[in-house]
């Protein structure tokens, strides 16, 4: 955590996951019933964390330039708080959101600056993920300005933690190391098959996290409270609230220490991918950003994903469909969901660390036949 404390100049709280940190921040700064503005494109479990905090999700219009909140089309006077996404490391316009309770999800943007200021320093709280840039498999960090807030959040965290075990920590570290090795060696397809066989990837029927409307209604009746929402929030990370021991914390610290050394290679990959005609326009705004993924907007994404896997490149972090279509009965809809639907259907996130391996496939891809509004 020392690196993030130095980068943000804030007090940092260690967590078993980014998910738990987001819930803690939302509960600490927001009042149940408040209206929270959020992007239509993010991980499914984020929506359930907002609902668990007792808040009303207000879905923002999306900017097709970067996949984030289109602040120019938002009436901030109608909401109480904002949750940013900073999708793939491209920054939300945090300065334009000042004056509201602002919670920054910087899972994808650990190393991103905006106007020379690190993301994670604009809002009341920011939540980092140790499974993204560091690739530690699990772990999160909640950064806040006030030591008094830190102490209250630590107490709230401890109340929600479930027991961990050395065996679980060893398994988490081993699978993370295996995943990193598979990526380096280009063994993506056999690694994916093994993960499915070991039960590390849950079976999908339709959406990544089925809504189960009846069960969700029962959970909503108990909000604000996190445990009733565990069936949704824990997807692909069942121990997201489990206490982490010394082995896991050692591994997380070791992986986090590698992030600065990866920056130059990551930026080089961003610059190479930014030359493609399919790259999202905002990527070119600042070619020194070490993005977590570089979003391309392509015509036949499914075929591209299959071809990339054959070249040893894994594609993940696809958030489709947008919240408007995924959970229409528990959200206030965006005034114009067309851009979000278009983005969710066409975006192809590419790891800049493996740009050289990806480019033979990516150079052949074509942009979508139509734009975000038709």
Q: What is the pLDDT of residues 104-145, one digit of tens each?
A: 999 999 999 999 999 999 999 999 999 999 999 899 999 999
Which one, of 57, 70, 59, 41, lies nearest residue 342 by Cα? 41
Percentage, residues of the chain above pLDDT 70? 94
Q: At 178, is the pLDDT very low, low, confident or very high (cuts 50, 70, 90)?
A: confident
Residue 239 confidence (pLDDT) above 80: yes
Which one, of 217, 349, 178, lies nearest residue 273 by Cα? 349
| pLDDT tens digits for range 17-54 | 999 999 999 999 999 999 999 999 999 999 999 999 99
What is the CATH number that goes with domain 1-263?
A: 3.40.640.10
Burial class, 243, CB count within 10 angstroms (exposed 0-12 / middle 13-18 / buried 19+): middle
Burial class, 205, CB count within 10 angstroms (exposed 0-12 / middle 13-18 / buried 19+): exposed
Residue 194 confidence (pLDDT) above 70: no
| pLDDT tens digits for range 51-102 | 999 999 999 999 999 999 999 999 999 999 999 999 999 999 999 998 999 9
SS3 category, 255:
helix
In whole angstroms, what is the distance from residue 203 CA to residue 216 CA? Answer: 20
Residue 167 confidence (pLDDT) above 70: yes
Q: At 6, is the pLDDT very low, low, confident or very high (cuts 50, 70, 90)?
A: very high
Fold of the CATH domain 264-362: 3.90.1150
The mean per-residue pLDDT over the stretch 257-274 comes to 97
Chain centroid offset of residue 76 CA: 23
- pTM of the predicted structure, to 2 decimals: 0.94
Burial class, 195, CB count within 10 angstroms (exposed 0-12 / middle 13-18 / buried 19+): middle
Residue 196 confidence (pLDDT) above 90: no
The mean per-residue pLDDT over the stretch 285-292 comes to 98
| CATH 3.90.1150.10 intervals, the chain | 264-362
| CATH 3.40.640.10 intervals, the chain | 1-263
Please state which of the ranges 120-134, 151-165, 167-181, 250-264 shows the lowest mean pLDDT: 167-181
Q: Tell me the average pLDDT of the chain.
A: 93
Residue 188 confidence (pLDDT) above 80: no
Residue 183 confidence (pLDDT) above 60: yes
């Amino acid at each position: 955590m020392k690196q993030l404390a130095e980068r943000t100049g804030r007090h940092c709280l260690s967590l078993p996951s980014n998910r738990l940190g987001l819930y803690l921040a939302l509960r600490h700064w927001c009042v149940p019933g408040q209206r929270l503005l959020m992007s239509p494109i993010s991980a499914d479990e984020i929506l359930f964390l907002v609902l668990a905090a007792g808040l009303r999700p207000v879905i923002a219009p999306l900017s097709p330039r970067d996949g984030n909140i289109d602040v120019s089309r938002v009436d901030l006077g109608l909401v109480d708080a904002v949750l940013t996404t900073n999708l793939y490391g491209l920054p939300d316009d945090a300065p334009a959101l000042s004056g509201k309770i602002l919670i920054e999800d910087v899972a994808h943007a650990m190393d991103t600056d905006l106007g020379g200021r690190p993301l994670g320093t604009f809002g009341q709280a920011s939540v980092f993920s140790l499974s993204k840039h560091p690739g530690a498999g699990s772990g999160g960090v909640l950064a806040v300005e006030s030591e008094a807030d830190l102490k209250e959040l630590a107490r709230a965290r401890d109340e929600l933690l479930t027991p961990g075990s050395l065996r679980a920590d060893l398994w988490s570290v081993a699978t993370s190391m295996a995943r990193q090795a598979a990526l380096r060696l280009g063994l993506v397809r056999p690694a994916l098959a093994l993960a499915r066989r070991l039960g590390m990837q849950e079976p999908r029927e339709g959406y990544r996290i089925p809504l189960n409307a009846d069960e969700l209604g029962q959970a909503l009746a108990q909000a604000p409270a996190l445990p009733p929402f565990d069936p949704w929030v824990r997807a692909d990370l069942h121990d997201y609230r489990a206490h982490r021991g010394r082995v896991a914390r050692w591994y997380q610290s070791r992986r986090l220490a590698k992030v600065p050394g990866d920056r130059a290679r990551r930026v080089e990959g961003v610059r190479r991918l930014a030359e493609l005609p399919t790259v999202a326009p905002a990527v070119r705004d600042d070619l020194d950003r070490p993005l977590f993924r570089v979003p391309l907007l392509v015509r036949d994404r499914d075929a591209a994903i299959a071809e990339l896997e054959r070249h040893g490149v894994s594609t993940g972090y696809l958030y489709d469909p947008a919240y408007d279509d995924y959970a229409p009965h528990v959200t206030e809809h965006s005034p114009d969901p067309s851009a979000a639907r278009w983005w969710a259907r066409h975006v192809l996130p590419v790891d800049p660390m493996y740009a050289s391996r990806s480019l033979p496939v990516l150079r052949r891809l074509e942009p979508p036949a139509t734009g975000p509004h038709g």
